[in-house]
Amino acid sequence: AAPLGEPRGVEAPRSAEALLQEMVQAPEAASIASARQKCAKLGVITAASEDAQITTLGRLCLQLPMEMKLVRLVWLGSLWGAAADAVVLASVLSTMDPFSSPSPLFIRKEEEFSDRLK
């Protein structure tokens, strides 16, 4: 029997890699290691190991819906007193080139226009 106050059937914490391996389409071990390396290099986790901690930048990445590199740009901009400029730069860097984007003025067929937007 489980001790008083402890839920029944609760398993001991597993590693992130072990949890990912239980997915229907489990990622390759090399992909997991590569993702850890990338996160450590960007500074969102403290190290490229299983027991790494999430940094302040990592927590910010969880809150902002953009690429980690752009979150880092916004974070550094706010630290240096240029948050508004950093947000503008991040938004510009996250959009397509306006000169190569499809336009309904030149592409009249709706199906072709929607295909080019993808």
Q: Where are the domains of the chain?
A: 1-54, 63-118
CA 81 to the chain's CA centroid: 24
Residues forming a β-bridge with 54: 45
Most confident of the following: 12-16, 21-25, 44-48, 112-116: 44-48
Query: In this predicted model, what pLDDT tens digit does every residue of 73-87 receive, in sequence order?
Result: 999 999 999 999 999
Query: In this predicted model, what pLDDT tens digit does every residue of 53-106 receive, in sequence order?
Result: 999 999 999 999 999 999 999 999 999 999 999 999 999 998 877 777 777 777
